[in-house]
Structure 1
Amino acid sequence: MDLTIDERFVTARLMLQKDATYFYALATFMNMKENPAVGTAGVDIHGTMYWNREFVLSLTIKELAGTIAHEALHVGFIHMLRTNGRHGEIWNIAADIKVNHMLTTMGMVLPSGALIPDSNSYTFNAGMGPDGAQKTVTVTDIDKKTVEKLYDEIYEQVKDILREGSKPGAGESGPGSEKGEGQPQSGLFGKEFDKHITSTESQISPDERDKITNKWRSNNSLAAQIAKQRGKFPGQFQGVLDALLKDKVNWRTILNNYMTNYLPVDYTWQKPHKKSLAIRTYLPNIVRESIDVIVAIDTSGSISQKIMQEFLGEITSIARAFKGLTMTILFADTDIHDVYEVNGSSADINSMELTGGRGGTSHVDVAKWVRDNKSNAKVVVCLTDGYTEFPDINSISCDWIWAISEGGIDENSLPFGRYIKIED
């Protein structure tokens, strides 16, 4: 007797509960929702798994269990929020290769058409290269590499054939894309399988991003604990989970993500995008509003010269990248000693001279200076060890980011604002 849709999902979940407790526990945190617009299955950044009725009915129970586990790993490992501006389809291919390798080595069954590695490697045809020959891409030692590393290796092999106008960070494909889990689609490399819905990534606030990330870290930790209690936690997942929970992310990436989230974006059709002529399609141009950003550098002596230079280099590169951004850099200890305003090509750290400092540390004057001189500032970024006199939170009129140097305070010691750990 044929099973109904509900019966198929229940049976697949029971199979996971019995044989793959970690995937089952992780999947219990997901919502399930039918969506005919999704050709196969997919998941969004919030953990909702979307599925197509015809697709689900076409699967065996083992394939459906594998599909549920596949989507659970994508959201559990926060793949949709780790793109960081990378090319969306390449990121999805890398994520699918990693996830499917982990699943198949545990004996999970995936639908036909999934990107399934063979003997710890995966090879696919990426299309025709500039020389007219077919381009073959291969990645090896998948078990030893992160999704980021796999992405880098694939990107290096296909960067010469990326289509003009292909969108970095689009991130909408996957147990291998929107239109074809079980039937590969015609994406840039014809390798789409399920749908990784990341189109809202740039629209969510930094606080919401952190909330989603922390939620799935917590869910992941609990799922692992449940599986370990039953003696069914896959050992190969421990390293991936440890890295996820420890948040070993380069501080430059975190800072860049925070900063670019403060840059409002709009579009205009009055002036076409410069790529319109090349691809013979009229594209809107991006319009970025002007914003003020304040950067306060602690000159009390707690910040090494190396970290100060690296931080200034990173922060001024952001200023150069966005025409509408005006950045004011304050050098201060208990008092403000030097003020530099940079934007565009004027963002040159070599022109900045420190004429005072090496006293105690207080950010009260920084908050006062912002109120008196840049009351419309969007964000204040402070490089410090955190051993400072904090301003009254009621005197703060914008967001603050605390970039804390090595040996500085922990996140729980902050009275307000966002925390980044700067490591030498």
Structure 2
Amino acid sequence: MGKQKQKSGEMDPATRAYEEGLRLISRHPMFAPLASHAHFVRMEGNLCPDNGWAVTTSSGYIHVHPKRRALPEEWIYILAHALLHLGFGHFKVMERQDMWNTACDAFIAKFLYDMRLGKPPEGMNGSVEIPSGKGAEEDLYRSFIDQGLPPSFHNLGTAGPGHQDMLLSSRASDRSYWGNKNVNWQDLLGKGLAMAVTSAVNVSAGYEAYLGANRDILTPAMKARNWFVSSYPLMGAMAADFRIIEDPLLCTRLSISVAAVDAEAKEIYVNPAAGLDEQECRFVLAHEFLHVGLRHHARAEGRDPYLWNVACDYVINGWLMEMGLGAFPRVGGLHDPELKGLSAESVYDRIVTDMRLYRKVATFRGVGTGDILEPKVPDWWDRKDGLTLDEFYRSCLSQGLDYHFDQNRGFLPAGLIEEIRALSQPPILWDVELAKWFDNYFSPLEKVRTYARISRRQASTPDIPRPRWVPDAGAEDGRTFGVVLDTSGSMDTKLLGKALGAIASYSMARDVPLVRVVFCDAAVYDQGYLAPEAIADRVSVKGRGGTILQPAIDLLEHAGDFPKSGPLLIITDGYCDRVSIRREHAFLIPKGHHLPFVPKGKVFRMD
């Protein structure tokens, strides 16, 4: 009976065994750095001979036979042999290249035999006796040149009989493949050896299963994460949902010196090279959890990302030290007792006044880089997944806060409690906040009954006049405010229309008869007093040049026809110089923008 055809999409046995061997060698702590930089080519027409298993080029490409069958442990041996040619720096131009290749093969065969790693395929010698005093490749090479090649040293390479498994790269040898010319393979092998020693200690301590498929490494970071899940409800839910990644090579690639967090992927990177103990890991993990839980990645709103990250670091670290949670890392961190009690926004407004100094400080990721990683998709937070994660993070902290108090888990700073409570409530829209601002300055007018202006007579008693309800005489005096409108070229016309429409609507609803309007860009354009209806109808905007707000503010503050109690409403996009304002005021700016100075008045960020 004929063999059944292989199902469509099903991996053939040869490929499956090769993929398993490659997966295992890529997870081996010693070979992982080499494998992550090498390129494995398993396709028809590559450089591997028909009777061989694999050949290695000096540019880091390993050409594997596309059809030969082997067990996974045999592929481990073959691929490890090929990677060690790179790691040992065997690619040299010698007088007898074949003898040099054999000497390198013999050295690697002895190395792998002593490691007991993998199994050589049938027909390939896996053990060799090297004469005493000739352990190095150079010694073996000189011995072969002087005395010839012993029979036991044949078939040690992975290219098959009669072929060399090391190829010096040239444009022809790698064909269409690009080589890794700048990779220091020997340095990668050194890192792998260091990781292998660490892994061996973990294996002997029972923390790690050697080359296991599901290794559970109880590193200090994992112990700290487990402590949050079992003993600290405030951040336990977040700790259970985040994945801890401790890969020194990946951390080096991402320039992470201590730790960083990816809110989109729900991953926290901890660099083992930082040498944190369990208490320090508790501090660092809590730091990253609070970054995400307090939505620092979404609250930047146009601020400089790095300086905003620095401001958040100062606030979080201050809280954690007050709480006595873990130990402040010896490798560094940001802490300033003078900033105690300030919000992240207030700290940011302080540090932007000396950006040259604060750009030199280091977060847990390093100098000049924030430990809040940038999302892979720039606008992901505005999409459905980002909003769902936002709700999840806020609910984690708000529920954790309730559990923390119920179980009397210890002291929490007031600022942290306020931020968690605030985030658990839905945000207030800017126009609702603006309406409250109007209510603060313009309370409803008291109306009185008067016969001076008689109301419409009732049909049942047409001969009896009715008094009309009208505002009390003089109640409208001083009932006005000033609007300084930035009409520079950077202002969005939609923003101008939205702001003026809201101002006109709220003014009419609160019986404000007139509004003093001043346009300004590089010059001042006084529009005088306008009725709210005129503002809502059509306004001819003047300017569209640069932005200088101070002359317009001075004009209103010193105008003789403008009441001293009248507040100012300033509409700008933030691209302006520092201003001085002596009377009550508020700012309307686009969402995502910030002012280059610290305003004492209210700031409304328009969506």
Structure with the larger RCO, 1 or 2 (CA within 8 Å, 6+ apart): 1
Q: Select the structure of larger CA radius of gyration.
A: 2
Scaled by the length of structure 2, what TM-score is found? 0.35
More strand by share: 1
